[in-house]
Copies of this chain bind each other. A is one copy, B any other.
């Protein structure tokens, strides 16, 4: 992240909170200035409109999520760390959830983000593939032809649309407690491939109990 002035930093934090909680489409740069109790002209001095703010927020998100997603590719996780690792991914997504609610729309308005977003999706697939490969190598799970790739894509898709599905299905913004259910929904996709049937049943019972 490049060095930023205190004001710029505050603008970004305010905008992020407003976009996440009120919906990006509901918020103008005048609203952001008003919440910060500065003049629209002052805000304009730092950012020339809402889309400039979005692009900078995206850069922050990109840097953070890349770091998170790359870590198990560079160094495999211990089995017991998968659970907490999934929490970290979902929390990262939750912190920037406004991107995930209106991806297509935001990308249409800022075509420069398209490729960066596509690369994050590709990275998500790679990360899922690495996690599964580590479990496979240690003999915990076993796949038939085609299953590992399909599951990696499905997990990446699940990360990407979990919150939006909830919004559309229940007509309300996903609460933070939904992260828990999102992690469960990820793990329950992996457990059927567990090699030791007993360990798998135990694992699942454990997850169900934890919710």
Contact = CB atoms under 8 A, between A and B. Distances in A.
B154 A158 contact: yes
21 contacts: A25-B105, A25-B108, A101-B104, A104-B105, A114-B171, A118-B169, A118-B171, A122-B169, A144-B204, A145-B204, A145-B208, A146-B184, A147-B188, A147-B204, A150-B184, A151-B188, A154-B185, A154-B189, A157-B161, A161-B165, A192-B192
Contacts of A169: 118, 121-122
A168 B115 CA distance: 9
Copies per assembly: 2
Q: How large is the interface on A (under 10, 10 to 19, 20 to 34, 35 or more residues)?
A: 35 or more
A167 interface: yes
A151 B192 CA distance: 11
A35 to B, nearest CB: 21
Nearest to A197: B144
Interface in A91-106: 101-105
Given A144-B201, A150-B184, A154-B158, 6 more contacts: A102-B105, A118-B168, A146-B188, A156-B165, A157-B162, A192-B192
A14 interface: no
Contacts of A28: none
A130 interface: no
A40 interface: no
Nearest to A25: B108
A147 to B, nearest CB: 6
A103 to B, nearest CB: 6
A166 to B, nearest CB: 9
A154 B161 CA distance: 11
Nearest to A184: B150
Contacts of A117: 168
A160 interface: yes
A193 interface: yes
Contacts of A185: 150, 153-154
A137 interface: no
Contacts of A184: 146, 150
